[in-house]
Chains A and B, each alone.
Chain A
Amino acid sequence: MDYQPTHFELPKDDTWPGDAKHGFPPYLFNEDIAVAVDVALATRRPLLIAGPPGSGKSMLAPAMAGLLESRYLRHTFTSRSRLGELTSELDHLRRLHEAQAGVYGKNALPPEWAYREPGLFWWAFDPESARRRGATQAQVDKLGTAFKSPDVPDSATSGGDAVILLDEIDKAEPDLPNDLLEPLDRLQFQVSNGPEVIAPPKTTFLVIITTNGERELPPAFLRRCVSLVLQHPKRDRLVEIGRHHFPEMNMEILEQVADRFGDLRKQAHHEGMRLPSTSEYLDAVRAAHHLKIDAGDPVWRHIETASLLKKTDWTDDLADEE
């Protein structure tokens, strides 16, 4: 790769070696990825990554956290996600139960702030404040044993630079991306009836947001993000990805599976079916390696069916049987 990033250093062979301890696989950079990350760091904007499943959208975040030697925080959106999960929510149910059960006897219930649940942004921007649920140390001390410490995420035990992955934003309700504009733009947010949480000015936050294109995102949101659209890797890059995932693997198998994989993608495209992705290529390679067979083996057809084609519509097969 000719491009030399300004805000981070590319590893040898343009490949982040992975982190076996935390289960992160190696990551291969290309020029598009390196430039987009560098632009996001230069402009301090979120990086929105779109692309088909298995194209390496989510895995870029741990790779960048490794390269930048910074904390890695991750949140995966679901249809139930809301902004409060990332900023702060009140645990109404615990408060109600403690009130009903008379946990504190004749003493009054702890104040409302003791029931705040800090979200990912709070842990990223100001972990010290999050640990005290937004109160001062004097308030925490005064509360004594009635103060329950929140569960601290592994990567939020200390402050500093962070890579934040907001995964699959297209799964969330349509309004959520707009709710994120303010905290992502200013790296700060207001806790309801509480403090304003502000990220330290000199701290670097790389926010990576992924989308599968499941639904459209609001234009105002798109206009605030640096964009990277990942394509499905070409055959040679696919083999290279396989080589980094399975360094002990015979190159011949990697290439054979990649060739067969290409044929199956063409076939699936022609038939209007879902196209197999990189992760399925790796599954097929793994299976071929463990079963010690290649694409010419009679058993190979079953690997294709189980790991590459993954048919969900068996109507034709049932009709054939009849």
Chain B
Amino acid sequence: MTLRTKNSDRAAGRARRGTIGLGDLLRSLKGLDTRDPATAERIARSLGFTGIEANPVEETQGVSGAAPRPRVSKKPAPENLPHRSGLPPVTPPVDLPAEILETEMTPIESMGPPSAPPEWLDKGPLLGDRRLPSVPRAKLFPERSAKGVLTAAVATRRAGIAPDIARLVQGLVRGRVLARFPYRPRPSVHRGVQLLMDTSDAMTPFLEDLDDLARELVSVVGKNATELYEFQGDPNTAVRWTEGFNDVPWRTVPGRPVVLATDFGIGAQAAAHDRATPRAWSRFERQTREAGVPVIAFVPYGRARWPQALSRRIRLVHWDHRTRASHIKKLFGVGHEVGP
């Protein structure tokens, strides 16, 4: 093994340089043709000094609302339902008159002519132009831990670099001819993921969290390997939209993990029209189990409220800022075990 020192690095002319800094900019501006100010700007841009995204990730279609698409709903939507693209804006309080208005309550005996509208009604909007400062929203999976949590949640096992000595010895002892060298498994996201998002009424408080989840999953797994589906209560009816805005029903893909983002109807009223029955969940669980597809469910409510029967058959994870990748690794080890 070669011992390396700073001096030997310098002698080889390959000292570690770290991230791009002002020195790189100065070296470039001094050494290159910068007679034209626009060229100097180009140089600064290429070195990342103008804040332009160096790796613009394609916009997520679907839940993040990058592209408009028709909402196909078989049930009539209740009126005044908040729009999917976000929560309703916070309503500022109404300005009350400075003095108490005199009122005289008299029994209604005869309906006289309608009274004239008050003067203040014509003096502009009641709510004025004031906007309350928006309260920063705490993400269910904070940025610092989201990537680790999601990688651990969707990773499957794949042959790594280190030889699996135990399996190798076992094979040799039994006199088997090894067609494939056994390697110790490592987690990998190469199989992609299907994200099934519950957009039922009870999940309205978490719509922006669904957006965040979809975006984070795409950044971890990649756009082409992430399939985004939506359902209202019953996961068996999940659909996704194609480029031409046609809906495609959800089907399992062998070996591709499924991530559910749902409250399992915990937050819904018992008689809610979009609350799935236990039988529907059982059918979903059976379908994924028979297809050999690992399922993990992010639930925005704590363990105490989880459906007991389902939590024994589907691996549930509290969708919460305290959840860490290590908690998920305890559930799955180095990744989901799936077939070849």
Q: Which residues of A contact B (CB under 8 A)?
A: 2-6, 31-32, 35-36, 38-40, 42-43, 45, 48, 50, 79-80, 82, 84, 89, 92-93, 96, 100, 170-171, 173-174, 185-188, 190, 193, 195-196, 198-199, 201, 211-217, 220, 222-229, 271-274, 311-313, 315-316
The reply to whether B28 and A216 form a contact with Cβ atoms under 8 Å apart is: no
CA separation between A227 and B46, bound complex, in Å?
5
B48 within 8 A of A: yes
Partner pick for A229 among B52, B68, B188, B189, CB 8 A cutoff: B52
CA separation between A95 and B56, bound complex, in Å?
44
Chain B interface SS verdict (over half): loop
The reply to whether B39 and A214 form a contact with Cβ atoms under 8 Å apart is: no
What are the interface flags for B52-82 relative to A under an 8 Å C-beta threshold, 1 for contact and 0 otherwise?
Answer: 1111111001000001110000000000000
The reply to whether B242 and A35 form a contact with Cβ atoms under 8 Å apart is: no
CA separation between A42 and B45, bound complex, in Å?
15
CA separation between A273 and B190, bound complex, in Å?
25
Output the residue of A50, A79, A190 with the most chain B CB within 10 A.
A79
The reply to whether B55 and A3 form a contact with Cβ atoms under 8 Å apart is: no
Q: Given A43-B27, A227-B48, A229-B52, decide whether A6 and B190 contact each other with a Cβ distance below 8 A.
A: no
B116 within 8 A of A: no
Number of interface residues of B (CB under 8 A): 64
CA separation between A299 and B27, bound complex, in Å?
56
Nearest A-chain residue to B33, judged by Cβ: A4
Which B residues from 223 to 263 make CB contacts under 8 A with A? 223-224, 242-246
Interchain residue pairs A-B with the least CB separation, the first 8? A201-B13, A79-B190, A227-B54, A223-B19, A315-B246, A272-B67, A216-B219, A313-B242
| B120 contacts across to A, CB distance below 8 A | none
Nearest B-chain residue to A186, judged by Cβ: B14
**Chain B nearest CB, measured from A237 CB (Å):** 17
CA separation between A79 and B187, bound complex, in Å?
12
The reply to whether A313 and B243 form a contact with Cβ atoms under 8 Å apart is: yes
Nearest B-chain residue to A52, judged by Cβ: B58
The reply to whether B47 and A217 form a contact with Cβ atoms under 8 Å apart is: no
Question: With contacts A89-B161, A216-B57 known, what are 16 further pairs, Cβ within 8 A?
Answer: A2-B36, A32-B42, A39-B32, A50-B55, A82-B161, A173-B188, A190-B2, A211-B55, A213-B58, A214-B222, A215-B220, A226-B20, A226-B48, A227-B48, A272-B61, A313-B242
Q: Given A173-B190, A196-B4, decide whether A185 and B223 contact each other with a Cβ distance below 8 A.
A: no
The reply to whether A215 and B46 form a contact with Cβ atoms under 8 Å apart is: no
CA separation between A186 and B20, bound complex, in Å?
14
| A174 contacts across to B, CB distance below 8 A | 147, 151, 189, 220
The reply to whether A3 and B39 form a contact with Cβ atoms under 8 Å apart is: yes
* Contacts A/B (CB < 8 Å), 16 sampled: A3-B39, A5-B33, A39-B32, A39-B47, A42-B32, A48-B54, A50-B56, A100-B177, A201-B12, A214-B58, A214-B224, A225-B20, A226-B20, A272-B68, A272-B245, A273-B244
Nearest B-chain residue to A169, judged by Cβ: B55
Partner pick for B14 among A31, A96, A187, CB 8 A cutoff: A187
Which B residues from 306 to 331 make CB contacts under 8 A with A? none
| B31 contacts across to A, CB distance below 8 A | 6, 42
| B54 contacts across to A, CB distance below 8 A | 48, 50, 217, 222, 225, 227, 229
Q: Given A188-B14, A313-B246, decide whether A170 and B55 contact each other with a Cβ distance below 8 A.
A: yes
The reply to whether B46 and A36 form a contact with Cβ atoms under 8 Å apart is: yes
CA separation between A89 and B188, bound complex, in Å?
19
CA separation between A211 and B243, bound complex, in Å?
22
